[in-house]
A = this chain, B = another copy of it.
Amino acid sequence: MSMMRRMTIDITGIGNAIVDVLVNVKDDFLVENDLTKGAMMLIDEARAAELYGKMPSGIECSGGSAGNTMAGVASFGGKGAYIGKVAEDQLGEVFAHDIRSIGVDFQTKPASGGPSTARCLIAVTPDAQRTMSTYLGACVELGPDDIDEALIKNSKVTYLEGYLWDKPTAKEAFLKAAKVAHDAGQKVSLTLSDSFCVDRHRASFQELVAHHVDILFANESEIISLYQASSFEDAKAAVAKRCEIAVLTRSEQGALILSDGDEVAVPAEPTELVDTTGAGDLYAAGFLHGLTSGKSVAECGRLGAIAAAEIISHFGARPSVSLKELAAKKMD
C-alpha cells in the first residue's frame, strides 16, 4: 500500500484504461467506414486493425473517460487515484506513465498474456466532433479483485464511467466499488458516458441512478435516452428527485445542476472549438474537484465549464495547461 492510500483521496476514478489514436478526417471518412458521428462504438481486434489501416497518420496519447477526468482533477491540484486495466505492453506503459506523471495514484496490476492495451480510434472531423471506435483489449480483464477497498474507503468520491457496464466483470467491479464507498459513508458518482451506452443498459442505469448514485453526470442526449423522455424538460423532471446532484451538460448552452430541489444554470465558457474529445470528462473533473474542495454548486459548475473549454480548444483529451492556474486566473 502506497503512502497515498493512507491519506484521504479526493476522487478515485474507475474506468477503461485506453490509449487514444487521434486523427483528422473529412466527413466522407465516417460515411465510407460506417461510423456514426459523435458516438462511441465498441469494435473487435480485427475491425480495429482494418479501421486503423484506413486511417491517416495520427498521434497517440493517453485517454479513457475516467482517466481523462482524473488527469483533470490532478491538474486542478486535487488528490486523485485511478483504477483501470492495461496490458504489459508499450501502450500500457504509456498509459501508466502519463497518469502517474501528473500525480494520480495508479496501482492496478497490468494484465499479461491476454489482449493488448485498449485503443480508441478517434476520428476528428472539421466541425471538431469526435467519433470513437474502441477496442477494449485488456480492459475486459478488470474485475472485482482490482478494486482496492482501502483506497475506495479513503476517497471522498468514487467516480465510475458508464462504459464499464459493457463487460460483466467490470460491472461487478463497478458494483463492488459503489458498495464499499457507500458502506464507508463516501459518495458515488457516475457518468452515463454516451447515449448509445445508455441504450445498451437503460434498465440497469435507471436502477443505478435511483439507488446507488449520489452525483450523476449526463449530457442532454444521455439523460433523454435514460428516461426515454420526449424533451430535455421531461428528462430533467424524471431525474430531479432520483439523486443528490444531477449535472446535466448541454454543450455551448452550458449546464444545469439539480441539487436539493434547486436548479442552477451555469453558462459554457467561451472558447475556440478544435476537438470536442474529453469535454464531458473534463467537465466532471472540474465539478468534482470543486465539490471535494467545499465549493458551492455554482462554483463547481464554473470549474467544470473552465476545464471543458480548455480541453475542446486543442487536440486531445488531457489538459495542456495547469487547470489550477487557469482557474485561478479565470475566477479571481
Residue A89 is within 8 A (CB to CB) of chain B in the complex: yes
Nearest-CB residue, chain B, relative to A19 = B60
Residue A191 is within 8 A (CB to CB) of chain B in the complex: no
Q: Are B59 and A316 in contact (CB under 8 A)?
A: yes
Nearest chain B CB to A58's CB is how many angstroms away? Answer: 7
Residue A294 is within 8 A (CB to CB) of chain B in the complex: no
Q: Are A55 and B101 in contact (CB under 8 A)?
A: yes
Contact with A89, one of B90, B102, B318 (Cβ below 8 angstroms): B90
Q: Are B53 and A97 in contact (CB under 8 A)?
A: yes
Nearest-CB residue, chain B, relative to A104 = B57
Q: Are A60 and B101 in contact (CB under 8 A)?
A: no
Nearest chain B CB to A22's CB is how many angstroms away? Answer: 9
Residue A56 is within 8 A (CB to CB) of chain B in the complex: yes
B-side contacts of A318, CB under 8 Å: 57
Q: Are A98 and B62 in contact (CB under 8 A)?
A: no
A53-B97, A56-B102, A101-B55 are contacts. A90–B61 as well, Cβ < 8 Å? no
Nearest chain B CB to A77's CB is how many angstroms away? Answer: 15
Q: Are B57 and A59 in contact (CB under 8 A)?
A: no
A90-B90, A90-B116 are contacts. A98–B61 as well, Cβ < 8 Å? no
B-facing residues in A24-66 (Cβ within 8 Å): 24, 52-53, 55-62
B-side contacts of A56, CB under 8 Å: 101-102
Residue A218 is within 8 A (CB to CB) of chain B in the complex: no
Complex Cα spacing A89 to B53, Å: 16
Residue A91 is within 8 A (CB to CB) of chain B in the complex: yes
3 A-B pairs closest in CB distance: A57-B98, A60-B60, A90-B90
